[in-house]
């Protein structure tokens, strides 16, 4: 056990606002500009304002597509599966690096298998097999914004990819 740690202790007002479920635990936390905190737990990303009565923004890892870190600007951009993005400006370099690394590990842990599909008529999708908070596997299709599932050929290509992804791990289509 290390006697000294670089990790900053999560302030009690922030910790009290977290509603961690059984089996969940804080893995990393970092202050954000504006007195907010980003907290990475085993099961979700939490955005907390310790002095606000607003609910904590809690998002399971399966709803996060990816993140990009601009180390120079201390900005972690969270890309959601919806296509939206949220930029978190980290107030502290060391805690921010720890948070970004743990964030990346948690997103990767939720992804079991991915297949990239170029669709007839243009557009691309990723069909991913992911773990939800309880560890159950499910498929998720993320398009590039140009996907037209009313096109029978595109819908068939996505359905075929989903069946292949599920069969890779022995799940029924």
Among 3-12, 106-115, 135-144, whose mean pLDDT is lowest?
A: 3-12
The pLDDT tens digits for 97-124 are 899 999 999 999 999 999 999 998 888 9
Q: Which residue has the tokens 């980290």?
A: 90
**DSSP-based three-state secondary structure for 159:** helix
Distance, C-alpha 109 to centroid of its chain? 10
Residues 102, 40 contacting (CB under 8 angstroms): yes
Domains defined for the chain, CATH in brackets: 12-110 (2.30.29.30), 111-168 (no CATH)
pLDDT at 95: 84
Rounded alpha-carbon distances, angstroms, from residue 102 to 14, 42, 84: 19, 10, 21
Quickly state the pLDDT bin for 7 (edges 50, 70, 90).
Answer: low
Among 16-25, 79-88, 107-116, 124-133, whose mean pLDDT is lowest?
A: 16-25
What single string gives the DSSP state of each residue in 44-110?
EEEEE-TT--SPPEEEEGGGEEEEEEETTTTEEEEEETTS-EEEEEBS-HHHHHHHHHHHHHHHHHH
Residues 153, 96 contacting (CB under 8 angstroms): no
Q: Say yes or no to pLDDT of 59 above 60.
A: yes
**pTM of the full structure:** 0.87
Q: What is the mean pLDDT of residues 35-63?
A: 91
Q: Which two tokens stand for residue 158?
A: 């996505």
Residues 45, 64 contacting (CB under 8 angstroms): yes
Q: Which two tokens stand for residue 46?
A: 């939490």
Q: What is the mean pLDDT of residues 70-93?
A: 92
Rounded alpha-carbon distances, angstroms, from residue 80 to 51, 66, 157: 26, 7, 23
């Amino acid at each position: 056990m290390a006697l000294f740690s670089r990790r900053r202790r999560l302030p009690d007002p922030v910790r009290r606002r977290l509603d961690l479920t059984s089996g969940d635990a804080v893995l990393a936390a970092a202050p954000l500009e504006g007195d907010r905190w980003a907290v990475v737990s085993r099961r979700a990303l939490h955005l907390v304002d310790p002095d606000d009565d607003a609910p904590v923004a809690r998002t399971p890892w399966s709803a996060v597509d990816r993140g990009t870190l601009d180390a120079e600007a201390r900005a972690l951009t969270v890309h959601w599966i919806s296509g939206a993005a949220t930029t978190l400006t980290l107030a502290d370099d060391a805690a921010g690096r720890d948070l970004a690394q743990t964030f990346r590990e948690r997103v990767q842990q939720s992804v079991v298998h991915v297949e990239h599909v170029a669709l007839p008529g243009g557009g691309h999708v990723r069909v991913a097999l992911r773990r939800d908070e309880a560890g159950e596997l499910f498929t998720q299709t993320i398009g590039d914004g140009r996907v037209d599932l009313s096109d029978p050929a595109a819908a068939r290509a996505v359905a075929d990819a989903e069946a292949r992804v599920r069969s890779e791990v022995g799940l029924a289509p």
